[in-house]
A and B are shown apart, each in its own frame.
Chain A
């Protein structure tokens, strides 16, 4: 069945290490998005991509990088330059409407 998958559900990394979060969708959506959510806060946009091989910075892109080599995949790399990487990361996709559909999220904890 169609949907958005994020793996893993929980991820632990040591400080100073880069880590890549996976996001895959089989909904044939053109646009994909990465958000982070911190306790008691809303969703903040990190990066988004409207089409393959193109992406734009969101509101808090510093310390993150993305790629969009395939329509189905939009991996997010949290680099060592990100000062506060511990958070709940959410991936979403949308067709040509504004409605975004979310994956289950990845909880990243940096030790």
Chain B
């Protein structure tokens, strides 16, 4: 069962507009969330993260919003640029008693930014 869900496999936006990528999770023990960007045949690149004690984190054109009550987070890209076209992965980490923290990944959303 997918604990981290990205329900939109793809998204298309116009250059200069806002891109909003969504992610839902089911495990209330997740306490840290990350977004990665991936180009074909390359490794994912870390974009931005947010701790569960916050509801917003901003870094340049990228902002992540966390709604813990809804178990939902979103990545906003403003303004969108053609170079942002890639697959975006949402990932979450669980606060457990052991030391074996690992990331739980969504299936990704493919973003196309059209000139």
Q: Which residues of A contact B (CB under 8 A)?
A: 4, 6, 33, 41-43, 45, 48, 50, 56, 58, 88, 90, 92, 98-105, 107
Specify which chain B residues have a CB less than 8 angstroms from the CB of A103 in the assembled complex. Answer: 43
Is the pair A98, B106 in contact by a Cβ cutoff of 8 Å? no
Q: Which of B34, B41, B103 contacts A88 (CB 8 A)?
A: B41
Question: Taking the nearest CB of chain A, how far is it from the CB of B72, in angstroms?
Answer: 18
- B89 with A50: CB separation less than 8 A: no
In the assembled complex, the CB of B28 is this many whole angstroms from the nearest CB of chain A, namely 17
In the complex, the number of residue pairs spanning A and B with C-beta atoms less than 8 Å apart equals 46
When A50-B100, A98-B32, A99-B34 are in contact, do A42 and B106 touch as well, CB less than 8 Å? yes
- Chain B interface category by residue count: 20 to 34
| B residues in contact with A88, CB < 8 Å | 41
Counting from the closest, the 4 A-B pairs by CB-CB distance are A102-B43, A42-B107, A98-B93, A42-B105
B45 to chain A: closest residue by CB: A102
B22 to chain A, nearest CB (A): 15
Which residues of B lie under 8 Å from residue A50 when comparing CB positions? Answer: 99-100
Q: Is the beta-carbon distance between A42 and B101 smaller than 8 angstroms?
A: no
A101-B46, A104-B42 known, 17 other contacts, Cβ within 8 Å: A41-B107, A42-B89, A43-B89, A43-B105, A45-B102, A48-B100, A50-B100, A56-B100, A58-B102, A88-B41, A92-B43, A98-B34, A99-B49, A102-B44, A102-B45, A104-B43, A107-B41
